[in-house]
Amino acid sequence: MTKTWWKEAIVYQIYPRSFKDSNGDGIGDLRGIIEKADYLAELGVNVVWMSPHFKSPNVDNGYDVSDYCDVMDEFGTMADFDELLAVLHQRGIKLIIDLVVNHSSDQHKWFQEAKKSKDNPYRDYYIWQKPKENGDPPNDWESYFSGSVWELDEASGEYYLHLFCKEQPDLNWENPQLREEVYNLMRFWLDKGVDGFRMDVIPLISKDWTFPNYPEGRFADLTLYANGARVHEFLQEMNEKVLRQYDCMTVGECFGVFAHQALDYIGEDRNELQTIYHFDHVGGREEHNFEHGWTEIPMLKLKGIFERWDFTIGDKGWNTIYFGNHDNQRVVSRFGNDTTFRVESAKMLATLLLTQRGTPYIYQGDEIGMTNCDFKDISEYNDVQVLNAYKVLVEGKGVSAQQFLDNANQIARDHARNPIPWTNEANGGFTSGTPWLKVNPKYPEINVADAVADQDSVFHYYHELIALRKANEALTYGAYCDLLPNHAAIWAYSRTLEDKQFIIVVNFYGNEEALHLPEIEGKTLLVSNYATHKDGSLQPYEARIYGM
C-alpha cells in the first residue's frame, strides 16, 4: 500500500459559525480560527476540514452557497481566508474546504437567472419538470428537510427539484457547462493553496431523470437518490480535469453508499475520490427521526460495521473513521455516558477513533468531551432541519409537541453546533456579544481553558493519542483484526505492521467486565484512561492500549 499524507492525516473539523467569534457579533468567524491556530497545533492535528465559508444567505448555515468564490460576510474577507490558510500551513496543518455542489442557494446568480425564463442560458443549470396533468408535482419524493422535493415556480409553471430545502435547488450535472463551472471553482481554491475538499452529499449528483415514485415498501427511503447512473462518470471527469492536477485530499460525504459500493468511489484503480465516509453507524431516517426518536446501536453491531468497512476496503482503498460531526449529536452523549462517566467514556471513544485503520476525524469540542445541550423549546433551535420537521409533524400532522421536543433533544443537529466554550467566563468566552445559538450551560465545568490546564482531561488524552499515532506507523497502516468479535461489551483488536503490533481493548459500557485476552500477556500498557488496573477485568468504559 502506498503511503501518503492524507492517509496519515488526523483531521479536525471546524464549524466556523460555532468555533470562535473575534468581533463580538455573536457569530464565529475566520479571524476567530486564526486566534486559535496555536490551540490546534498544540492538540497535534495535521489537517483541518472547515465547513462552508462561502457567501450564503445561511438558510442551511452555509450549505446553501450563493457565491462559491467569495467569503461569507459574517466570516470575514478573502484576505482573512488567505491569512488563515497561511497561519495553518506555517503550523504544518493542511486545510480542506467544503465543496457543496449537489445544490446551490436559490440566491445564487445562476438560479436568479434561471428563474427569469425558460430560455435563459442558466435555466438548464437546475432541474425543471412539468407538473402532472392535475398540477401535482412530478413524483412523491420527500426532501431531507421535510415536504416534497418539488417547488413550483409560479412564473414558468414548472417545478424545480430540491432534495434539501426549497432554498437549495439541485444543480443539473447533466449539463457540461455546469460541470465546467464546478471544476473552475475547485481550481480557484486549489490555486490559492487549499489542500483538498470534503464533498457534500456527492453520491446524489446524478439523478434518475425518469423521476419514478418510491418503489413499494420504500416510501421516503432517501438512500434511493444516491449512486445515480452517471455519478462515477462525473467523478472520473472531475478527477481527470481537476483533482489529478494537484496533490490534494478528497473525502466524499456518502449518504446512501453501502460497504459493497465503497470501492466504486475510492478504489485506487478508479481515479475518483480518495476517501469517503458512510452513515452506517450514525443512522438514516428510519432509525433516527423526530417522530419516533432514536434507536441506540448496540456495540456488537457497531464493531461489526467497522469490521465490515475495514475488510471490504482492505488494501484497495482507504477508510475514514468518525463518530460525530456537525450533523449529529455529541459523541459522548450518543455513544458514551455524558453524566457519571463523561470523562472516562469520552476517552474510551477517543481511543477507538484514533487507533483504527482509516483517517480519523475529530469534531470540534469532542476533544474536551462536550455533551449534548439541553434544548427546552423549539424557539431555542436554529437548524432548518428541526424547524421544518416541527412545522410538518407538529403543526401539520398532529404529532405531540412534547414527543417531538423529547426526540429533538436527543438527535437534533444543533447539539453539535453549540458554540465552543473556550473559558468559564460569560458565554464560555466564545463571544463578547450575544451568541447566535445558545452556549451549552455546562460551560463553567466543560471548557477549553480548564481542559488544557488539567493533565487528566479529555483534551490531554486526545493529545497523547494523536502523538502516539503520529509516532507509530502501525497505528496508521497496520492491519486491523478484531480479537473478540462476539463479545457484546468489550471491543478488542490488534493493529499489526510487520514486526510492530498494538493491542487495543475497551469496555464500551458502564459495568465492570471480566477480561480474558491472552494477546495482552507480556505486552506493555502504553496508554489508559484509568490510573489503576485490575488483572482480570475492565472497569466502566476502561480503555487500554498495549504495545511491544
Site residues for Ca ion per CB under 5 A: 21, 23, 25, 27, 29
Name, in order, each residue with C-beta under 8 angstroms of 134's C-beta and a sequence gap of 6 or more: none
Task: In angstroms, give the least distance from the CB of 322 to ligand TEU.
Answer: 12
Give, as one character, the DSSP assignment of residue 313: H
Torsion angles phi and psi, residue 324, rounded to 5:
-155, 165
Task: In angstroms, give the least distance from the CB of 28 to Ca ion.
Answer: 6
Instruction: Tell me how far CA of residue 262 lies from CA of 97, 257, 332, 490, in angstroms.
Output: 22, 7, 28, 28
Which listed option, Ca ion, ligand TEU, none, makes contact with residue 21 (CB within 5 to 8 Å by class)?
Ca ion
Distance from the Cα of residue 65 to its chain's centroid: 18
Residue among 151, 200, 366, 367 flagged as catalytic: 200
Task: In angstroms, give the least distance from the CB of 20 to Ca ion.
Answer: 8
Query: How far is 13 from 272, CA to CA, in rounded Å?
Result: 23
| Nearer Cβ to ligand TEU (355/409) | 409
Task: In angstroms, give the least distance from the CB of 420 to ligand TEU.
Answer: 18
- The CA-based diameter of the chain, rounded to the nearest angstrom, is 76
Residue among 80, 181, 195, 253 flagged as catalytic: 253
Task: In angstroms, give the least distance from the CB of 379 to Ca ion.
Answer: 23
Written as nine digits, the cell of 271 is: 481515479
Query: How far is 261 from 228, CA to CA, in rounded Å?
Result: 12
Which listed option, Ca ion, ligand TEU, none, makes contact with residue 60 (CB within 5 to 8 Å by class)?
ligand TEU
Task: In angstroms, give the least distance from the CB of 188 to Ca ion.
Answer: 24
| Nearer Cβ to ligand TEU (327/513) | 327
Query: How far is 409 from 406, CA to CA, in rounded Å?
Result: 5
Contact set with ligand TEU (CB under 6 A): 60, 63, 100, 144, 164, 200-201, 253, 255, 326-327, 413
Which listed option, ligand TEU, Ca ion, none, makes contact with residue 100 (CB within 5 to 8 Å by class)?
ligand TEU
Left, alpha or beta for 209 (phi > 0: left; psi -120 to 50: alpha)?
alpha
Which listed option, Ca ion, ligand TEU, none, makes contact with residue 25 (CB within 5 to 8 Å by class)?
Ca ion
Which listed option, Ca ion, ligand TEU, none, makes contact with residue 163 (CB within 5 to 8 Å by class)?
none
Query: Annotated catalytic, 253?
Result: yes
Which listed option, Ca ion, ligand TEU, none, makes contact with residue 344 (CB within 5 to 8 Å by class)?
none
| Nearer Cβ to ligand TEU (75/480) | 75
Residue nearest to Ca ion (CB): 29
Torsion angles phi and psi, residue 290, rounded to 5:
-75, -15
Task: In angstroms, give the least distance from the CB of 23 to Ca ion.
Answer: 5
Beta carbons of 497 and 491 less than 8 angstroms apart: no
Distance from the Cα of residue 304 to its chain's centroid: 21
Residues in the chain: 548
CA angle centred on 260, ends 257 and 266, rounded to 5°: 70
Written as nine digits, the cell of 462 is: 486526545
Written as nine digits, the cell of 95 is: 486545510
| Nearer Cβ to ligand TEU (120/289) | 289
| Nearer Cβ to ligand TEU (51/351) | 51
| Nearer Cβ to ligand TEU (60/542) | 60
Query: Annotated catalytic, 269?
Result: no
Task: In angstroms, give the least distance from the CB of 289 to ligand TEU.
Answer: 9
For every residue of 367-395, DSSP letters joined together read GGT-------SGGG---HHHHHHHIIIII
Buried/exposed code over 88-105 (b: 16+ C-beta within 10 A; e: otherwise): beeeebbbbbbbbbbbbb
- Please write down the HEC assignment for all residues of 252-298: EECCCCCHHHHHHHHCCCCCCCCEEECCCCCCCCCCEECCCEECCCC
Which listed option, ligand TEU, Ca ion, none, makes contact with residue 272 (CB within 5 to 8 Å by class)?
none
| Nearer Cβ to ligand TEU (200/542) | 200
Which spans in 121-248 are helix H?
176-192, 231-241
Give, as one character, the DSSP assignment of residue 396: I
Which listed option, Ca ion, ligand TEU, none, makes contact with residue 67 (CB within 5 to 8 Å by class)?
none
| Nearer Cβ to ligand TEU (164/363) | 164
Active site residues: 200, 253
